[in-house]
Each structure stands twice: as structure tokens, then as C-alpha cells.
Amino acid sequence: MKILVLGLGNDLYGDDGVGFHIVRILREEGAGECAGPERTDSVDFVECPVSGLALLDVIIGYDALIIVDTIVRPDAVAGRIHLLEGADLRDFPGPSPHYVSIPQTLMLGRQLGLRVPGIVKVVAVEAEDPFRLGEGLSAPMARRLPDIVAATRSVLRNVAAGSN
């Protein structure tokens, strides 16, 4: 099984770059070997600032996709984690007519006969102000990094073990 751990966001907007930080940490600590030596899983860790149809080029060829990204919620708490299934994602366009959601991107890939992930998991991380211009995570988000890493590692282990 080929697994992609995809950190989405924009690290020029502070906490919106948390997915990049998580992917870097997991890559550095060798989390791709979490399935154990008897497994033949291939795990790639990618930081990606694009969205919509541009994601199709990134996700082609993978069996499973684990997305780490920020979410905007009322009364957000920086670093609060929500584990979502691909089916939990909305499948309608966002505020721009040029925006294509992740479910729509996957559906289009399937319709084109492309090998796109059949398993999609999301580690959604609340950001108090995802539009704060400036590099680096806020102090509250930085304090939550170990918890976000642990949650993502757990999702990766479950996917690699076939515990969808």
C-alpha cells in the first residue's frame, strides 16, 4: 500500500502552516517505518500549499491519503484536533467558483481513470487566527505540536495496519 501524509496550508499565515510542521517532524523521526519491517507499505510525507484540482497531481498513485490541515471554527482553540474520515468532508464548492473540494478532486480522478486514494483520513487542527500574516506558529499552537504529531502518527499506524 502506498500512503501519502499530506500537510496542507500556507506557512506565511502562521498557524495555517501547522500541517507543514507535522509532516516535517514525522519525516525526520522516520514515522514512515511505523508499520514495521514485515510490511511493504510505502509512506511519503509532502508539504503542499496548493488546493483544488492542483491536488490531483499530488495524490495520484496513492492508496491512502492522510491530510493534516487547519480548520476554522467559531470559538476555536489553537491546536484542538478533530479526526475526520474522507466521507466527513463536504463535497460542494467553496466560496470561489474556481475552488474544487477534495471529494470532488477524488471523484474527478476516478472518472478520469486515475489511481487516486480510496482511503482518506483528515487530521483537522483548529487555528484561532489562520489568517495572521507572519511565519512561525503561535505559542498556543506550538505547545500542541506533540499532541498533533501523536494523533497523526496514530492515524498513520491505523491506516498502515488496515484498521480503516
Q: 60-89: per-residue pLDDT in tens?
A: 999 999 999 998 888 989 999 999 988 777
Of the CATH numbers 3.40.50.1450, 3.40.190.10, 1.10.10.10, 3.90.650.10, which one belongs to the domain with range 2-160? 3.40.50.1450
Q: Does the predicted model carry a pTM greater than 0.75?
A: yes
pLDDT per residue as tens digits for the range 118-160: 999 999 999 988 777 888 899 999 999 999 999 999 999 999 9
> Strand (E) positions, the chain?
2-8, 42-48, 64-71, 81-85, 119-126
Q: What's phi and psi for 104, nearest 5 deg?
A: -65, -40
Closest CA to 81 of 6, 10, 152, 157: 152
**Mean predicted confidence (pLDDT) in 94-113:** 80
Closest CA to 10 of 146, 149, 135: 135
> What span, in angstroms and rounded, lies between the C-alpha atoms of 1 and 98?
32
